[in-house]
Amino acid sequence: MKDLSQYPSLGAALRDALAEWANETCLIEADRERENCRLTYQQFRDAALPLARALQDTGFVEGSRGAIIMTNQSKWLISAYAILHSGGVIVPLDYKLTASEHLQLLTHSQARVLIIEYHLWRAITQSPEFQVWKMPTVLVTEAPAKADLAGARRWEECRGAGEPAYVARARRDWAAIVYSSGTGGRPKGCVLTHENYLEQCVALTSLYPFWPGVRYLSILPTNHAIDFMVGFIGPFVCGATVVHLRSLRPEFIREAFTKYKITYMALVPMVLKNLEIGLRARFAALPTIKRRVLHFMIALNRLLTRSQPNVQLSRRLLKQVHSAFGGELRGLFVGGAFTEASTLQFFYDLGIPVANGYGLTEAGTAITLNDLRPFRADTVGKPLPGVELRIANPDAEGVGEVTVRSKMIMSHYLDDPELTDETIVNGWLMTGDLGRVDSSGHLQLSGRKKNMIVTEGGKNIYPEDIENSFEGLPLKEFCIFAANYLWPQRVMSGEQLVLAIHLEPGKTINDELLQQIAERNRRLPDFKRVHGYIFWESDFPRTASLKIKRNILAEQIREQIERAAIQAL
């Protein structure tokens, strides 16, 4: 890979990478059974530079901000590089937000250019707020031939003549304004510098290097902090290949593994869990003899790889399993929310190690990551190289707020010095997460500080900790609340805990499920036990990284509280 310590900016590092690996494949875009495009690094450069020239022709200059609202595809990365080449600042926005939310963040970020897919642009133009929005230059991708673009231009036709100027940037200059996944109401635009990203890339690739020939399967949105780093910056500065998959249906993901011989993939815990459920079902459907042989080989692999992974050995012992993943898979990355330890152990036993980590948008991408030496399913790993981590105000059990200091920490929140001063104190990022560091230096998380419930007896309860005890039950989603937070007060206190449950479609509550819930509940200490439950018919609201938006879910429950039935366990 490139020696990133020698580079002043992402644009400079990517510019050299495009030249060094000109003939290597950098991007493959697949949609269901067909392949939309395949680009070498040279072809990628040839597609991005005319766009950069066109941006500069519109007055896009050093420090100008360019917003991108797109699903996972090659045009996202081409547009991002054109912005960086022109000395601009990327504003990656979540395409799943509403049109109103998009307009709010576009206004707050002061984006000079917006690059957006047609169906998303159409939604924005139909929003009431669009009439008062001061529209910048808008480039729309994949628009039908006769579509009314409401003053926007077609991305495909936006090509300038002549070589664009390369605009150099310094390490402390802004590279991106990233809105945290929990954004709601007060915008939280994290200003990340070129140094933040370069240092993060060095740290991550020191543990999990990429090289020409590696193929990374990208299924997370590129605006997601994880995929922006390991599905764009990391592979590109190492000459690797990114495979964009525009359909997330399980059968097409499975096909992509075998068709493209995937090496790595990042995913969120919910997707990983669904993958586990599918594999367990396939294993259970095997004839008795084959199933027993498989279980024996899994147990043998677990024994022989107890201290650290041995992918080559695992591929020999569990050939059919690894062949189903393309035969070249070296590992998965997971983050963004809690991952059940049993799920991590399940994949490790198959010889498919999952490196789970912990991070925040404010810290670029990751703060800690499991290096698998040895494999630990009960932690989120050790601090990355270059990261200082300490626990502030620990209690008797060593649990306190996780605080971090490193060159990866954001510069500030955009136009919000007050919130910046609350979040970065004397150079330390106050994460708002609670945890402890064990004797081996691994971080064990307890939950979010703002979610902590304080009982009348003064005990601290972490909803995430209790939720772990109900993992594995046949429930689609569930969430713990203090009863007083839902009604009649809006405070996290009191002795009564409530379990909100969302069942799988078509499923109904039955005595067997109630018995399983009660059995799990009895294993908990008295002060952690759930006292009632609520059945919720709709999907829980979630962030881009699929974490439950507890405050919004609670508000929805409050609005329907008179109709929701609470039954004693």
Least confident residue range of 310-314, 423-427, 486-490, 561-565: 561-565
Supply 449's token pair. Answer: 């500080």
Q: 453: buried, middle or exposed (CB in 10 Å: 19+, 13-18, 0-12)? A: buried
**Per-residue confidence band for 336, with pLDDT thresholds at 50, 70 and 90:** confident
CATH 3.30.300.30 occupies which residues in the chain?
A: 452-568
Q: Find out whether 462 and 446 touch, Cβ atoms under 8 Å.
A: yes
> Nearest-CA neighbor of 477 among 447, 501, 498?
501
Please state, in angstroms and rounded to a whole number, the distance separating the CA atoms of residues 299 and 294: 9
Mean pLDDT value across the chain: 90
Q: 255: buried, middle or exposed (CB in 10 Å: 19+, 13-18, 0-12)? A: middle
Length in residues, the chain: 569
3.30.160.20, 3.40.50.2020, 3.40.50.300, 3.40.50.980: which CATH number matches 4-251? 3.40.50.980
Least confident residue range of 165-179, 412-426, 492-506: 492-506
Q: Convert the pLDDT of each residue in 279-318 to its tens digit.
A: 999 999 999 999 999 999 999 999 999 989 999 999 999 9
The confidence score (pLDDT) of residue 379 equals 93
Note the pTM of the prediction, 2 decimals. 0.87
Please state, in angstroms and rounded to a whole number, the distance separating the CA atoms of residues 217 and 17: 20
User: 268-449 — its CATH code?
Assistant: 3.40.50.12780
> Nearest-CA neighbor of 452 among 473, 468, 435?
435
User: 452-568 — its CATH code?
Assistant: 3.30.300.30
CATH 3.40.50.980 occupies which residues in the chain?
A: 4-251
Buried-state track 196-215, b at ≥16 Cβ within 10 A, e below 16: bbbbbbbbbbebbebebebb
The confidence score (pLDDT) of residue 181 equals 56
Q: Find out whether 58 and 274 touch, Cβ atoms under 8 Å.
A: no
Question: What is the Rg, in whole angstroms, of the alpha carbon atoms belonging to the chain?
Answer: 24
The confidence score (pLDDT) of residue 494 equals 53
**Per-residue confidence band for 247, with pLDDT thresholds at 50, 70 and 90:** confident
The confidence score (pLDDT) of residue 205 equals 94
Least confident residue range of 90-99, 376-385, 448-457: 448-457
| SS3 state of residue 271 | helix
Q: Convert the pLDDT of each residue in 315-330 to its tens digit.
A: 999 999 999 999 999 9
Q: Find out whether 82 and 55 touch, Cβ atoms under 8 Å.
A: yes
CATH 3.40.50.12780 occupies which residues in the chain?
A: 268-449
Q: Convert the pLDDT of each residue in 73-128 to its tens digit.
A: 999 999 999 999 999 999 999 998 899 999 999 999 999 999 999 999 999 999 99
Please state, in angstroms and rounded to a whole number, the distance separating the CA atoms of residues 523 and 271: 28
